[in-house]
Amino acid sequence: MRTLFRNPVWWVVLFSLIGLFALLLLRGNENAMEYFLSCVGIGISAAVVECSIRQNQIQKDNIKIQLFDKRYNVYKSLIDTMTILQRDDWDRYVLLKENDMNKQMIQIEEELYKSVYLSECLFDKDVYDKLENINNAFCKVAQSYKNMIVANLLNLSSKDDAREFLSLFRECLLSSSPTAFQDYNEALSQKQPKTYEALMTFAKEAQAYTDLVYKSGILSDIRKYIRVDMLDS
């Protein structure tokens, strides 16, 4: 019954029936037709009001959906930065698959920057301030990454240097020793110190960034905002 009354057509039908009933009761009365038309008019007015209420609710729901999407995009951009930085020894991998990683890093950096600075009206000041700090920290990571790429281009420009690096990396991957990566780091630091320094500088910035994200609690903060019952806030 409650759903029935939310149908605008029902209001027209209901008051038209009331008007018809009045018309039958008052037949012979010169005002009978006026009563009938008044009832129909009331039904139409009620239908218009119901349509307005429903349209307003639809607009509110659409705003909630848009709000959810925008907040979720901020959350996703943060997750993307954490995902790419926490892959196992990916700072070595970038030397082998540089072009692919460059595209990912640029895209993730741009998405984070854009989502953070478009989110000032999506969250309270405390959350937004955290996002600003996190974005600034990731800018340092991105700059360190670019420095690493440039350093690698310079340090591994010769075929001999590149071949030596690949040989060290291959030995590490094929080794069954539990200290394989430790041995690799030591060998790389001795044989190619500039390449090692560039890798370690980037690794430190990446670790500082992930530590900041975890300690700030920003992921938990945003998860609260993208709950369905929080979309009105």
Cα gap 232→68, rounded to integer Å: 10
The span from the CA of 71 to the CA of 166, in Å, is: 43
Let me know if 216 is exposed, middle or buried by CB neighbors in 10 A (0-12, 13-18, 19+): middle
Residue 47 tokens, joined: 């239908």
Q: How far apart are CA 185 and CA 170, in angstroms?
A: 13
Positions of the chain with pLDDT lower than 70, given as ranges = 1-51, 53, 57-58, 61, 87-99, 173, 228-233
- At 197 the pLDDT is 86
Backbone angles phi, psi at 183, to 5 degrees: -65, -40
Q: Taking a C-beta distance cutoff of 8 angstroms, is the pair 135, 116 a contact? A: yes
Residue-range domain boundaries for the chain: 2-57, 67-230
pTM of full prediction above 0.85: no
* Secondary structure (H, E, C), 122-159: CCCHHHHHHHHHHHHHHHHHHHHHHHHHHHHHHHCCCH
DSSP state of 230: G
For the segment 137-165, what is each residue's pLDDT rounded down to a tens digit? 999 999 988 888 887 777 777 777 777 87
82, two tokens: 């954490």
In whole angstroms, how large is the CA radius of gyration of the chain?
Answer: 33
Mention every residue, 6+ apart, whose C-beta is less than 8 A from residue 75: 219, 222, 223, 226
Tokens of residue 53, six digits: 């209420």
What is the predicted pLDDT for the residue at 125?
92
Side chain identity at residue 34, one-letter code: E
The Cα 64–Cα 66 span in angstroms is 5
> What is d(CA 103, CA 209) in angstroms, rounded to the nearest whole number?
20
